[in-house]
Structure 1
Amino acid sequence: MGTEIKTTHVGSLPRSKAVTDLVFAVEKGEAVDLGRFSDVIGEAVEETVRKQVEAGISIVSDGEMSKISYATYIKDRITGFDGDSERRPPADLEQFPGFLERQAKSGGTPTYRRPKCVGEIRVKSMEPLEDDLRRFQSAIEVHKPQGVFMNAASPGVIALFQPNEYYADDDAYLEALAEAMRAEYEAIVSDGLFLQLDSPDLGLGRHMMYKDRSDEEYLQRIGRHVDMLNHALRNVPAEKVRMHVCWGNYEGPHHCDVEMGVILPTLMKAKPAALLFETANPRHAHDWATFAEMADQIPDNKILIPGVIDSTTNFVEHPKAVAERISRFVNLFGAERVIAGTDCGFSTFAGFGAVDPDIVWLKLKTLADGAELASKGGVRVAA
């Protein structure tokens, strides 16, 4: 048997109705019993850690149980955000308004507040993070997973979804976000967890916030996003951080997605030692070839975490297909530098997920089964 290939995922996992109802009640400003909130979220974290371990996932998360979404949760932790902002649909969906309307009517488009920056950004309270860490550590102690990580929003993704109406320019806004979020990043790592920075701005941003810019301008802007991310991580060891990049966790044409080859050199300048990215869905299944062609531009100390499970379909991948996807990267970079992952989260927004909650766990099990096959070797991979 060869080297064991570890498994992980992007972070968010299905939340129960009880959790979703409470999270939305807090979001709406309704009176919520804080003791009950803590108990319900704590039980949900314990259950989701147990299910990940039972599915065979090596490196687990808290499922982002307490957060309404992976980016807007920050309004409760840093100051300067209020109100709501205009929705900016991705460029690919703008070209198909009928499909966009169908998505909205079917509940595929979450409806919750996306506050904008209207004041000075600074740390408001570390208590929500401390609560998350306490609940997660309690579940870790019970179920003893191999590895653990916690998600946090990158400065760039906060800017992507929450526009600036206070700072003089985008650079000043990013710098303020980086400095305010630094405390969260350092606290997660200090608590013994891997930090995952969610950075879809580096992919999705091309056909959202920068859809009217040239490729050259876009690369300049995301280069600045990476600079600010690195600045926020200046006190955190690279090997304790992973970064997730995607093109939007939604079913759609995705024909406006920027090619991996265009952004890969910029991604390699980011400090995090590990990179999570999509390769399972139809639009990015070919990206493994880009990594093969550009292997000399990938530093030897980078860990690659390709998504080998699609997070937008209820198809359950066959373990052999998963093993083939993993093996392509293992053949290129070695088993020690590859972890099998998912394309994106399964519940990016509380209460919204394309994949049925029960099917999520079967997909994670097939991820583990496929990694076990790839670890044993002998998987034939077409060139």
Structure 2
Amino acid sequence: MPSIKTTHVGSLPRSQAVVDQIFGREKGEPIDPVQFDAVMTSAVSETVRKQVEAGINIVSDGETSKISYATYVKDRYTGFSGDSPRNAPGDLKRFPSFMKRASSSGGTPTYARPQCTGDITSKNNGELDKDIANLKAAMAEHGVDRGFMNAASPGVVSLFLQNAHYKDREAYLWALADALKAEYETIVASGLDLQLDCPDLALSRHMLFEDLSDAEFVRIANLHVEALNYALKSVPQDKVRIHICWGNYEGPHVCDIAMDKVFPTLMSAKARYVLFETANPRHAHEWTVFAERKAEIPQDTVLIPGVVDTTTNFVEHPELVAQRIERFTAIVGPDRVIAGSDCGFGTFAGFGAVDPDIAFAKLAALSEGAKIAGERE
């Protein structure tokens, strides 16, 4: 009887104590570094415990210490200051009353997004080493033998922290790849899997490049993957996960580029594990793309479909989760499918559409659905 493993995209709800520490530091308030580290260590242990309790096999640190999955680089690398232009997603601009309501009700996160205004180099401030140590200690404490750590891709950094220093976007992208590759290598050298978060391969189509044609955007996405693969040149492919995303927010999503159009780009990334949305109403139908284009999926690629939606407080029935998993096991076999979530449950510190307790209930439903699917193989 095959066993379907379980994981998720990475970020998880942070406690109020964690949020207070992160935003205190963000605002320049005096923060005791010893207390900050102690709060993070304790919180990572707790979030790993909750993942294990929910039946998750491949765990993360919940991105506990990071203010967001992409903009954390401003704190760990030189070259960022000021503020980047804010580009509202194209779908929200089509529905201005909804966008206004979401903004006024706290439905959108607020956080610093500086521009790149100088050369990008690592500050070597030890934050990554602390994250790794906290996760590995929590895994040992709770009896977990496999974990992963998220890192921003060059492309997603260029999406949110825009260029005001390098001669053009392409030069900025390659500078980011050069700067970030040591982070990727350090994570893998620690024994953890590396997950690259790449909403730039989908979300940026309707956020930064909405004036381009789909074909023009795909050429940019291909360049982003080329830069990413360059940054991964010393990292074994079987230690790499890649996550593509159209934006982890509840909204119309009527401008999302189709998976079919970015499928070859996604499959060209140097990653053994591919995570993607297939639970939310805008992308649930796209499992058929994987069936129809099975020949284009590399033989050693493992699919990690999102089988629970991260933008709603509905807790999926385990039977529905099992059915979603089985769509993919029928395509590539149960040994090449891991059950995952559409996106993160804590993309930005202190902000999330899903109640923290419900987030872990959804992960438990994910695990139960994986068990059902495994028993039916």
Amino acid at match of 1:17: Q
In 1, Cα distance between equivalents of 2:125 and 2:289: 41
TM-score by length of 2: 0.99
One-letter code of the match for 1:99?
Answer: F
Q: Distance in 1 between matches of 2:146 and 2:57?
A: 6
Structure 2 residue 309 is the aligned partner of structure 1 residue 283: no
Contact in 2 for aligned 1:79/1:124 (Cα 8 Å): yes
| In structure 2, distance between residues paired with 1:247 and 1:211 | 13
Would you say 1:336 and 2:340 are equivalent positions? no
Aligned-partner Cα distance in 2 for 1:194–1:230? 16
Give the count of matched residue pairs.
377
Aligned to 1:142: 141
1:71: which partner in 2?
Answer: 70
Q: For 1:129 and 1:244, locate their aligned partners in 2 and report how far apart those are by CA, in whole Å.
A: 20
CA contact (8 A) 1:76 1:125 kept: no
Aligned equivalents of 1:4, 1:340: Cα separation in 2: 11
Mapped pair 1:82 → 2:55: no
Contact kept, 8 Å, 1:197 with 1:242, in 2: the verdict is: yes
Structure 2 gaps of 5+ residues are: none
Contact 2:238 2:272 in 1 (8 A): yes
Which segments of structure 1 move beyond 6 Å, counting only runs of 4 or more? none
CA contact (8 A) 2:139 2:145 kept: no
Give the aligned residue type for 1:192.
G
Query: Secondary structure of 1:286's partner?
Result: helix
Residue 191 of structure 1: aligned partner: 190
Deviation at 1:146, TM superposition (A): 3.9
Q: CA deviation at 1:217?
A: 1.1
The DSSP-based 3-state class of the residue aligned with 2:148 is: strand
* 1:318-357 matches, cutoff 5 A: 318-357=317-356
Query: CA RMSD for the aligned pairs?
Result: 0.8
- CA deviation map 1:131-178 (0-9, x unaligned): 111111111110122420000000000001111000001111000000
User: Residue in 2 aligned with 1:200?
Assistant: 199
Equivalent residue of 1:349, what SS?
coil
1:163 aligns with 2:162: yes
What are the within-5 Å matches in structure 2 for residues 355-366 of structure 1? 355-366=354-365
Q: How does 1:17-96 map to 2 (within 5 A)?
A: 17-96=16-95
For 1:36 and 1:272, locate their aligned partners in 2 and report how far apart those are by CA, in whole Å. 37
Letter of the structure 2 residue corresponding to residue 342 of structure 1:
S
Distance in 1 separating the partners of 2:320 and 2:42: 34
**Quick one: which amino acid aligns to residue 210 of structure 2?**
K
Residue equivalent to 2:246: 247
Distance 1:240 1:166 in 2: 33
The whole-number CA distance in structure 2 between the counterparts of 1:147 and 1:319 is 24
What is the rounded CA distance, in whole Å, between the counterparts of 1:325 and 1:27 in structure 2? 40
Deviation at 1:275, TM superposition (A): 0.5
Q: Which amino acid aligns with 1:298?
A: I
Distance 1:209 1:237 in 2: 31
CA distance in 1 between partners of 2:327 and 2:213 (Å): 33
Offset, 1:246: 0.6
Matches of 2:330 and 2:221 in 1, distance apart? 30
User: What secondary structure is seen at the aligned counterpart in 2 of 1:312?
Assistant: coil
The answer for unaligned runs of 5 or more in structure 1 is: 379-383
C-alpha distance after superposition, 1:265-319 (max 9, x if no partner) = 1111100111100000000010111111111111111110000000000000000
Residue 181 of structure 1 aligns to a residue whose secondary structure is helix
Q: Deviations over 1:157-208 (max 9, x none)?
A: 0001111000001111000000100110000000000000000000101101
